[in-house]
Amino acid sequence: MRPNLKNILSFTLSLSLGIIILYLVFQQQQNVYEATCDIKTDPNGCSLVKKTMSEFSEANWFFMLLAITFSLLSNVFRALRWNLLTEPMGYPIRFFNAFGAILIGYFTSLAIPRIGEFMRAGVLAKYEKMPSEKAFGTVILERVVDVIIFAIVGLLVFLVAYKDISSYLIAVFQKYTDKSWESLFSLTNILLLLGAVVLGIFIILYFRKAILRSKFGHKVATFFNGLLEGLTSISKLQKRSLFVIYSFSIWVCYFLMVYVAFFAYEPTAHLGFKPALAVLLFGSLGMFIPSPAGMGSFQWLVSQSLNIYGVASVNGFTYGNLHFFAVAICSTIVFGLSSYIFLPIYNQVKQKS
């Protein structure tokens, strides 16, 4: 993908959003740290930057490498699951192409959030000769499945740690509830929105023949037909049980990625499965923000989830940064760039053999 003004602008806005959120979270945690430390006895001089850097150097990097390993393993299961979706469509894909496409997708999403989904489909179209719209349909289907499993994980977390998390959420809503939001969801505004949607649908249906005859309309129809075929590929699966196993294995790896990282950092080393589930849930929510890998929102939500289980928010912030920069950023960059280099060589060798 060649850089253009739109991509540069998207990257700038995304990175700026992440930096702003991270800065605001940092300032909040700095104020908390200053309020609880004694500058005369604190070796870091009540500087959160110095504290974080010191604890990074003291972290047990064996466990961080283990967390990175589970991150990679989740993508192995994702690649295997992807092949189950493309195979019924007549496009069985080679594992290394699927695996590399996933890593490249995550890497490019650091620059422009959500563009990784298109990159994954593009890489598959290039090396496996699969129509990009069909490949994209399977990617969207994957995301739908992930959202369903995420909802199951959320339900599991609330069943296991309902009292802890519900008490926290009630306190947060009571603190931040603003009655001005009520006007936004007034009956008049909802009816106006529904009316605009109905009107738009009516106009499209009325002029549908003219739209479909146009060059643009034909391209849109072709795209959505391929997308629909990709989305419905799950109904043709011959190995549905294996698809379910791979899907849950991905999230088991995500959980283990969080859990083993606890042992890398002393203030979280004593935590068990319940806090890990909470961090998995809250951290995943943080990554929905359109900043690079959820920068800023990830750290804040992870620190809040750990705070529920008695970990000081400044320590939770450090853990969030340790996990974010080691697993979400550094490993994504290293493995994503490696895939950019490796995949062309791999496919050239395969063509010659």
**Beta strands in the chain, from DSSP E residues, in sequence order:** none
The parts of the chain modelled with pLDDT lower than 50 are 1, 179-182, 184-185
For the stretch 309-321, pLDDT in tens is 889 888 888 998 8
**Which tokens belong to 344?**
């062309």
Nearest to 237 by CA among 132, 83, 74, 78: 83
Contact criterion met (CB below 8 Å) for 86 and 102: no
Instruction: State residue 181's pLDDT score.
Output: 47
**Which tokens belong to 287?**
């990554």
For the stretch 261-270, pLDDT in tens is 999 999 999 9
- Residue 268 exposed, middle or buried by CB count within 10 Å (0-12, 13-18, 19+): buried
- Residue 289 exposed, middle or buried by CB count within 10 Å (0-12, 13-18, 19+): buried
Question: Cβ contacts of residue 77 below 8 Å, gap of 6+?
Answer: 246, 249, 250, 253
How many Cβ atoms are within 10 Å of 48's Cβ, its own excluded? 20
Angle at the Cα of 349 (from 126 to 76), degrees rounded to 5? 65
Q: How far is CA 175 from the centre of its chain?
A: 28
Radius of gyration for the alpha carbons in the chain, expressed in angstroms and rounded: 23
Is the CA virtual torsion 275, 171, 299, 265 positive or negative?
negative
Instruction: State residue 176's pLDDT score.
Output: 59
Contact criterion met (CB below 8 Å) for 136 and 151: no
C-alpha distances out from residue 256 to 56, 98, 279, 280, Å: 20, 23, 11, 9
Angle at the Cα of 342 (from 115 to 288), degrees rounded to 5? 25
CA torsion 154-326-323-39 (nearest 10°) is -160
Instruction: State residue 1's pLDDT score.
Output: 46
Q: d(Cα 239, Cα 228) in Å, to the nearest integer?
A: 20
Nearest to 51 by CA among 291, 269, 321: 321
Instruction: State residue 70's pLDDT score.
Output: 95
With H, G, I as helix, E, B as strand and everything else as coil, classify residue 264.
coil
